[in-house]
Structure 1
């Protein structure tokens, strides 16, 4: 399988083969040597001794070669898995040889991923319907979740075995012709086939480094756990694919999750890596759509020292938010939780990214701190048939072949295998003091994350990644000669293809795995689906990852996130914590942003007059229409109250009663006068004018009724002219009566002919003339700018005052002014006639009535101007009734008194007495 142009790291690697950026990455792996570096090889102690100079140039990898799993095949699929993590930080001084990197933790879960890959490949090899003419092999190495180690492992996978012997390679490197055999040199090259496709790595940052270093070789990299959205950039990473959804989808799910529970004030932290940096950046952008703000964002280093932990915990403690989203892996979470327990910080609601949403190992030590955690986990396979038997089928004879398996066995059973190839030890005490393994140990008897198949999520991604490669090879095998996709319609040979030919088929793969349809978008990303899991405690104290919802990116907008609140268990109490910067603004108020603070920090301001808001957290209040007004809560526009002087309210009833009573009294007096029309008292002082005056007074009383009730245009047309004309008639009658009395006593000289101008006809004419002027004024008013009904909202904005507006203020005041002129003339004449020698001088009573008339209407003017609405109308009616009653009682009450109570005085003799 190794092509002639394969880069072989087991030989001398010339720096001229690489660009400057690739040299920098390779240099970090320790693979580049000085120009006379010898090949990487495994030394055979039984071979012929070699010189010291030659041995100095030989890198011994015997132990390392056991830290891998290899099986040959027609196509060997490479695999990179983080079986160890958390390197102990050392700071080389470059004065001494750098110490080897020491890893503190072994990840049994990652070994399950490894075994899933092995299982999937063996399962495919046993199938007759998929790649029947092709055998798949595997070459799996430990990436240690570390870029230099991962890059070194990738180079080994991509190069495979050397084409020439180590001796020949060394001679070519030195430029010297030597005729020494391999046996003479004492080194045997390790035989490995080239891997044209790599499944890995788990971390986004590591995957990016691998792609940038070997991208020019077009080797496909299929990640099962790298989720950074940055990897979707096909221009930068054209050979990258993954069975893990992009973080872009997870971020949308997280933003909707915190918004669903009303958490608008959340802390966002993450490990200082490409994965967390891109995730936090996306979250800050996406959360704005849902009104969610970050109380703080904090990136902490991969290696958490005490200073970094103190900085992080100080931020968490000082913030008011108790909801924390953490973009990190299981390893970083352990250090954070350890420090949180040390400081006794409680009541935090953790939101887990998919990187640690199902990390059960955290529960064993920090169950009390992680109770109620919510997180999005990638799609789970309920079962992968046959996988559990494969995982539990390890036996000591097979375990000795791999340091990975030996380490798992020794860690799980706390024993030591005879002849163990395991070079890592993570327990306490002396490794050599361990009891030897008995050989009867069984993985069925103990719990291990390695054999736990209840949460097959990443394992399922690995399984799908293997099948992706297999189906791409199947499609390549089905290519018909002369109809291929490559140059000149050629096909690729499934047993001898170029990496770029395989990626062509992988990009177009569409297949089914365990009943799920697997396909990819243009960026090489699968369709996103997440389970929302809640960390709950089982009765035995172990972790129960309860599915409480899901996020399906293929669902319609608004239906992608489904949550079952009733089954969620919270860290404290029976409901979700409150985590807001400012409480929600209730309906009837709006949000007022605080200057210089995040959008989630605001004050609530009541809506202005005439405005409402009927939603919580309204940004603006809306103005009500002209005929509506806010209710007291200012959350609803209700019809405005219409106001006018109604017959149904107390004031209207009283005024209506007074009006009718006044008219009835006037008509009663007319009836009385008709009864006693032949008596001297009735006949005196011009009986005809008295009857006319009483009739017009009754009309004046009834005019008041036109001012009560809902105004309309026709009522307004009648109201003011009727008022002006009726009072003009009354005052004109009084003016005529007073003039007759005055002239009668002034024309006593013999031969005077003055009284001929004040006869009955002249009296009637004067009344009509005095009234005609008022009629003309009213006609001009009605024709130019008549009164009309109007809805007035200027005085009380919450009330519609239905009123009659005068139309022309000049017309109104002309009507009122003319009445005043008549009243002044009447008063003047009555005042001059007040002392005339008459036993019953009516001029006195007319004078008093005019005084009352003036007082009423002079008082009316300022009150009328200063009031509004129905009170203006009430004042107007009161003035009409008061002045009419003043005329009625001042003039006719004395006469009625004599007629009823002093009939003996109702004779000519009494009236003629001086």
Structure 2
């Protein structure tokens, strides 16, 4: 009803204006559409002036007819399409701007978990689609569809839920004289509303915030100014001609409307639309328990002006409420979306080792360069520390202590054998070979120390050469000892040992000259540390070295096993058999352990194999002899050894 009267007020105001359409009076006919759009269109089309021109000021969606129409409430973005709706104008902005304004509010307050109250029809659905699109460009949106009712702001139940809600409203304005116009309506003309003149406060006479009503007011003035432009351009026409102009003539003049409203605002059409202007409002509680709309800002085109201090939040605090499904992921983590949930609902996954994220809400973690590693917080890449098996760490100290202890024990055994060199136990089994074996064992223990410390070009070459020569000398001594047991009269024992070592020296020299081990950084296992180790440039060369030592060991084991039961005064074949079993077991287990060990533990595995096999040889070969020399001297006599030899020979003959 108020919309009808504001149209009538505007027409009467224009008719009183001496400068706008002078000498011409506007009129109107009002039909009740009963809130049915087809009926409104039918009434408009039934007018007897249809063949000349009709200016329809209404809210209607079906605009396929040819006469100009100015809508005050049709806000669908689709109506901006001039190719489909060339005759349509409106004094309300497109919903695109309203959705944009709401999206900007959400973005400004960093909200991602939002409930939107919309009209449950095509208008509401389209508006929410535009809104979701704008917000999704920045973050996320999750919507609820709710119905809107006409007594919404006054409902006490709703007020408990809706207090503090922000909204985008059609811009409000004042129309001078309109309130008096409503209050002075004569009861004779409007008998049903005669009491308005005496009523202190009533929604009908409340003109403090005219929103849709002001759009009606603008629509009437737009039509009047278009007629004024037409009349001014064709001033030579008679007044009767002005009543019979054609629709297309008025249509082109509507596009030219650019005036200042009585309220001092510029008014013009941009195609079908006017420049977008909205009020930003806040639903605030009143002492009566209902809600009121409080102006907190405005929207002018794509400019948003907001007075945050005027907002009354539902929490009662001045702080902007936090409304997110998930808090932003801190640096050092990445966003992991949850399956089947909106993209603003996510988990924060810590970056893996070697990866970082140094921004909030990072979608993924960045891999550090090869020379760097992530810090403990996974927020920065730091230079890796060079790591190698050193004498300053527990593992290095333990292995070095074991090596030095082995060399010391070997030296002690050498001294004992040297002191008791004239005793039968020492002389019975080739004392020269025993002393040479002890020297080679001492070299085996000491060569393991070369593997500890910072790798260098010469250290990598020397440690493999020292290791190979020490063990080839050691195993070749045992091989000759075994051969001596089988053939006591063999000569040139030292020459045989020398030949065995010369073969190894040739293999080793070729390997180290063509493709020697070199220092190399291992980036694959130690995380924040980069391991410096000697890398085998040629696996074939290293395999040949180990293979040659293995060949000597297997030959020695086979011969010692065959000679273990031969009669002799002091047969070492059994001792050599046990020692070579241990030696072979250690080095067979060494291969898979060496291949699978990470970083500096490769070096530790090789040192352990050297020490284990050296201790095995030392204990198996020399422990029984030292036991007799030091603790059972009565058995260290020629008579005892002769009797033992005879017993062994008789036992062997009887067994045969």
Select which of 593, 597, 603 maps to 1:868.
Answer: 597
Larger relative contact order (Cα-Cα within 8 Å, sequence gap ≥ 6): 2
Query: Counterpart of 1:458?
Result: 212
Partner in structure 1 of residue 87 of structure 2: 239
Q: 1:375 aligns with which of 167, 172, 182?
A: 167
Q: CA deviation at 1:792?
A: 7.3
1:539/1:654 Cα in 2 relative to 1: closer, same or farther (>3 Å)?
same
**Distance between the aligned counterparts of 2:458 and 2:169, measured in 1?**
77
1:227 aligns with 2:227: no
Which residue number in structure 1 is paired with residue 49 of structure 2?
A: 159
Aligned match for 2:194, one of 386, 389, 409: 409
- Alignment partner of 1:324 is 2:145: yes
In the alignment of these two chains, the number of paired residues is 623
Among 265, 274, 281, the alignment partner of 1:526 is 274
Flag the 1:878–1:516 CA change in 2: closer, same or farther, 3 A: farther
Q: Find the counterpart in structure 1 of residue 647 from structure 2.
A: none
Matched, 1:855 2:642: no
User: Residues 643-682 of structure 1: matches in 2 within 5 Å?
Assistant: 647=391, 649-666=393-410, 672=415, 680=422
Q: Please report how far the alpha carbon of residue 230 of structure 1 lies from its aligned counterpart in structure 2 after TM superposition.
A: 2.7
Report whether the alignment pairs 1:502 with 2:323: no
**Separation (CA, whole Å) in 2 of partners of 1:565 and 1:849:** 95
CA contact (8 A) 1:378 1:529 kept: yes
Per the TM alignment, residue 691 of structure 1 is displaced from its structure 2 partner at its CA by 6.2
Residues 835 and 802 of structure 1: CA distance in aligned 2, closer, same or farther (over 3 Å): same
Match of 2:14 among 86, 97, 121: 121
Question: How many Å apart are 1:654 and its aligned residue?
Answer: 1.0
1:147 paired residue among 30, 37, 52 = 37
1:262 matched residue in structure 2: 112
Task: Report the equivalent of 1:700.
Answer: 444
* C-alpha contact 2:421 2:431 (8 A) present in aligned 1: no
Decide whether aligned partners of structure 1 residues 902 and 632 sit closer, same or farther in structure 2, where only a CA change above 3 A counts.
Answer: same
Does the CA-based 8 Å contact 2:337-2:343 persist in structure 1? no
Determine whether 1:392 maps to 2:180: yes
| Cα distance in 2 for residues equivalent to 1:717 and 1:481 | 111
Q: How far off is 1:639 after superposition? A: 9.4
In structure 1, runs of 5+ residues without a counterpart are: 1-82, 84-107, 163-193, 295-322, 338-358, 413-440, 483-492, 748-753
Aligned match of 1:883 in 613, 617, 622?
613
Q: Within 5 A, what are the aligned runs for 1:632-647?
A: 647=391
Q: Deviations over 1:465-523 (max 9, x none)?
A: 455446556665776999xxxxxxxxxx989854433332332444455565544433x
For the residues of structure 2 that align with 1:776 and 1:494, how far apart are their CA atoms?
Answer: 121
Residue 892 and residue 718 in structure 1: after superposition, are their counterparts in 2 closer, same or farther (change >3 A)?
same
Question: Structure 1 residues 691 and 276, CA, compared in 2 at 3 Å: closer, same or farther?
Answer: same
Q: Displacement, 1:897?
A: 8.1
In the superposition, relative to structure 1, how do residues 261 and 590 fare at CA in structure 2: closer, same or farther (>3 Å)?
Answer: same
Pairing of 1:82-231 with structure 2 (within 5 A) = 83=1, 108=2, 110=3, 113-114=6-7, 117=10, 121=14, 125=17, 131=20, 137=26, 139=28, 141=30, 143-144=32-33, 145-147=35-37, 150-151=40-41, 154=44, 159=49, 197-198=55-56, 200-201=57-58, 203=59, 207-209=60-62, 211-212=63-64, 215-216=65-66, 218=67, 220-231=68-79
Displacement after TM superposition at 1:837 (Å): 6.8
**Are the aligned partners of 1:774 and 1:815 in contact in 2 as well (CA < 8 Å)?**
yes
- Is the Cα contact below 8 Å between 2:479 and 2:556 reproduced in 1? yes
Q: Is the 8 A contact 2:336 2:347 kept in 1?
A: yes
Question: Does 2:504 align with 1:774?
Answer: yes
String of CA shifts for 1:295-337, please: whole Å, max 9, x gaps: xxxxxxxxxxxxxxxxxxxxxxxxxxxx4344x6xxxx24xx7
Q: Does the aligned pair in 2 maintain the 1:116–1:462 contact within 8 Å?
A: no
Alignment of 1:668-747 (within 5 A): 672=415, 680=422, 693-708=437-452, 717-735=461-479, 746-747=488-489
Native 8 Å contact 2:389 2:453 kept in 1:
yes
Instruction: Write the distance in 2 (CA, Å) between the matches of 1:668 and 1:690.
Output: 14
Shift of 1:882: 1.8
Q: CA deviation at 1:868?
A: 2.7
- Post-superposition CA distance 1:265-294 (Å, at most 9, x none): 8786524xx645655665677777665466
Give the C-alpha shift of residue 543 in structure 1: 2.9
Deviation, 1:533, is 2.5
582-591 or 772-781: which moved more?
582-591
Distance 1:725 1:552 in 2: 91
Check conservation: 1:112, 1:451, Cα contact below 8 A: no
Indicate whether 1:820 and 2:547 are aligned. no
RMSD of aligned Cα (Å): 5.8
Secondary structure of residue in 2 paired with 1:536: strand
CA distance in 1, matches of 2:163, 2:5: 26
Give the superposition deviation at 1:536.
1.9
The structural deviation recorded for 1:854 is: 2.8
